[in-house]
Amino acid sequence: MSRYPRNTQGYGGEPPAADWPGGANIAVQFVLNYEEGGENCLLHGDAGSEAFLSEIPGAQPWPGKRHWNMESVYEYGARAGFWRLRDLFVGRGVPLTVYGVASALARSPVQLAAMKDAGWEIASHGLKWIDYRDYDRAAEAADMAEAIRLHTEVVGEAPRGWYTGRTSINTVDLASEAGIFDYISDTYDDDLPYWRDHDGRQQLIVPYSLETNDMRFSAGTFSTGEDFYLYLKDSFDMLLAEGAAGRPKMFSVGLHCRLVGRPGRAAGLARFIDYVLGHDKVWIAKRIDIARHWRARHPAPAQAPRPTTLPRDAFVARYGGVFEHSPWIAERAWELELGPAHDTAVGLHNALARMFRSASEAERLGVLTAHPDLAGKLAAANRLTPESTAEQAGAGLDSLTDAERATFTELNDAYVARFGFPFIIAVRGLGKSDILAAFRHRIRNDRATEFATACAQVERIALLRLKEMLP
């Protein structure tokens, strides 16, 4: 594998300004997963019973059999839990997004009407509440297309958001390829929306959460409504404080009718909603509202070839001069396991610097000797690379007095005679006097120390050049 597809960098510690409406310090988003009637069941054409997210400890699928208790647990969610949650949210005027399994919505016309009457967003939660990890791409794509068709038929309009839940490795790509979704939520990798590139298409991702989620009742992590309340409160407080410090984020809370819809648990959820409502500078939104806000404030970035997607020759042509006259560094770096984390200045610099550091001493010496003298003969003859020309000019080395030029020439000659390579320093932000002071100090070093110093300066120059070329 020479290209690593996972993106572990994200916003790199510098998230964009969310700019939530009203100057809010946090965007709070509640999701109600409506799955009851879409779970694994022989009646639904499945091979066995459901075993996921229920009140039955250690539940396992029953191949070829109906599981009466499991079906009854799911039915509680539709018959009782849903209405308790409906009253809780509608009574407090809190907006909600529904992740609706299409087949479950088709079997729940009264609940669906209540969702629409409440003005809730109804996003798609797939065709059935099943696990797609072993599905081939074509079969999953067929289910996705049928989910969109059935959702549109039952709800009266196509879904604008998508969340499968139990995904395959193809799910997000397939949803992107559908080309109809304002957002996709099958990721848990950030506190803010972001744009994901797939085959040249920019798809907005609005991440979801599995830890601020009532599914942890079924896992035994939460035992009481108070457990749920306190965890949500701590998460909210931390994110609210970050927002007040100038870094507003998004906070997603995941709910299920059959889980938090139970009375003791719903009491904890009610306390949390009341706690949120007791704060100002909080935006409680539907997921589609967050997506539309992000599209307006942070539209999809202009498409430009990412470094790690370039063919070898194009990569070397573009980045082969970052280390002065040493394209072999870019050639070797292209062979590394590169991915989205290397598509920034810092990331690509890491890859290039690795090849420089792992090269032989003779090869690194070749990179040092490829650098020109400061204010030397090449500069006077206009034979520097464009990068070196700009860098030396930025430090004022193109406008020396005769006396200053003579001093640089004397120091250059003495330095090369002592070490066998030219004096190298990243001149960005330095003036002539700073450079001369460093020159006079470093010329007293032993060769090993100065070789290491010069190599470090070469790396710094490369990073500065990449920052001119990349984000």
Residue 182 to residue 197: CA distance in whole angstroms: 14
Rounded-to-integer distance, Cα 111 and Cα 114, Å = 5
> Hey, is 255 helix, strand or coil?
strand
As a whole number of angstroms, the distance between CA 334 and CA 332 comes to 5
Query: Cα torsion at 290, 281, 188, 36 (round to 10°)?
Result: -70
Q: Which residues are 202's β-sheet partners?
A: 197
Q: What are phi and psi of 222, to 5 degrees?
A: -105, 135
Place of tokens 């407080």: 237
Type of residue found at 257: C
**Cβ count near 357 (within 10 Å):** 10
Contact 78, 37 (CB under 8 A): yes
CB contact set of 148 (below 8 Å; sequence gap of 6+): 124, 158, 159, 178, 180
| Cα angle 101-103-109, degrees, rounded to a multiple of 5 | 95
Q: What are residue 164's phi and psi, to 5 degrees?
A: -80, -50
Amino acid 59 reads A
Distance CA 411, CA 147 (A): 74
The pair of structure tokens assigned to 397 is 């080395």
Q: What is the number of H-type helices and E-type strands within the chain?
A: 19, 9
Q: Which two tokens stand for residue 121?
A: 């967003």
Encoded tokens for 134 = 């072993």
DSSP 390-442: HHHHHTTTTS--HHHHHHHHHHHHHHHHHHSS------TT--HHHHHHHHHHH
**Residues whose CB falls within 8 Å of the CB of residue 270, separated by 6 or more in sequence, listed in order:** 88
Say if CB 454 and CB 460 are below 8 A apart: no
Other beta carbons within 10 Å of 13: 6
SS3 at position 203: strand
Q: Token match 């997004």: residue?
A: 97
Q: Which two tokens stand for residue 444?
A: 């007293």
Q: Tell me whether residue 371 is one of the annotated catalytic residues.
A: yes
Catalytic residue chosen out of the listed positions 67, 151, 256, 371: 371
d(CA 229, CA 272): 6
| Residues annotated catalytic, as ranges | 371
